[in-house]
């Protein structure tokens, strides 16, 4: 598993983020120390992200356990391609996710992407290479690079929770759209991934009732 920044590095980055953008101060004050969200990388990491999307945490864990067992304990392009779509469906995958698993595996086998040496690509190149695979959207590519590759200057601006936290930080009436959120995140370079973790932490604390927002910040865009 690739490790992200250490707690000490995250603490330093948080200070730099607030200094560069005081609008993040409330988020920083309301969010306790957090660890980097590290996950296994490579082909297995991306396939797992696809498998776990749009299902509950408990369901995702159960399905992934069946997939690993059904593939003989080895999740690789070869073991996935050795099972047809129906066989993968028998492990609990939808038709779409089974097909996406084949697409990701073929991309690696055919050389469209090299999961073993993805670190050789810049963030922009890696996102472009990943999103060229059918079934891998920009949000998936960016969160994969963050969680599974430990990259520290990636910001998945299409994430609704991040957009809402940006709205709170800016005391705005409307939630920024994806393109607006990308532009907004530029001031956080080269620590955009830490900014994302901070905003997620703040968003979660508010939703759990552990942090309180002033009433004017609680509305939401209704036309998105």
Say what the alpha-carbon torsion angle 179, 184, 188, 190 is, to the nearest 10 degrees.
Answer: 30
Would you name the residues annotated as active-site residues? 159
For residue 184 the two structure tokens come to: 């907004």
Question: Taken in order 144, 145, 151, 152, is the CA torsion positive or negative?
Answer: negative
Helix H or strand E segment including 101? helix 95-109
Angle between helices 42-52 and 57-70 (to 10 degrees): 130
**Count of positions (residues) in the chain:** 224
User: Residue 53 in 3-state DSSP?
Assistant: coil
What number of CA atoms fall less than 13 Å from residue 68's CA on the CB side?
A: 11
d(CA 24, CA 217) in angstroms, rounded, equals 14
């Amino acid at each position: 598993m690739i490790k992200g920044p250490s707690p000490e590095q995250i603490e330093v980055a948080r200070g730099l983020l607030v200094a560069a953008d005081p609008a993040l101060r409330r988020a920083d004050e309301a969010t306790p120390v957090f660890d980097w969200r590290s996950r296994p990388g490579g082909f297995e990491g991306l396939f797992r992200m696809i498998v776990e999307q749009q299902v509950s945490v408990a369901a995702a864990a159960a399905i992934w356990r069946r997939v690993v067992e059904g593939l003989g304990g080895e999740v690789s392009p070869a073991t996935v391609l050795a099972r047809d779509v129906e066989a993968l469906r028998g492990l609990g995958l939808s038709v779409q996710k089974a097909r996406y698993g084949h697409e990701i595996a073929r991309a690696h086998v055919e050389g469209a992407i090299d999961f073993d040496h993805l670190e050789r690509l810049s963030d922009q190149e890696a996102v472009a290479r990943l999103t060229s695979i059918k079934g891998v959207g920009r949000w998936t590519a960016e969160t994969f690079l963050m969680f599974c590759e430990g990259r520290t200057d990636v910001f998945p601006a299409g994430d609704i929770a991040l957009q809402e936290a940006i709205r709170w930080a800016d005391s705005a009436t409307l939630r920024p759209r994806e393109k607006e959120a990308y532009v907004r995140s530029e001031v956080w370079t080269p620590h955009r991934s830490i900014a994302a973790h901070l905003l997620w932490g703040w968003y979660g604390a508010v939703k759990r009732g552990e942090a309180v927002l002033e009433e004017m910040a609680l509305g939401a865009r209704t036309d998105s």
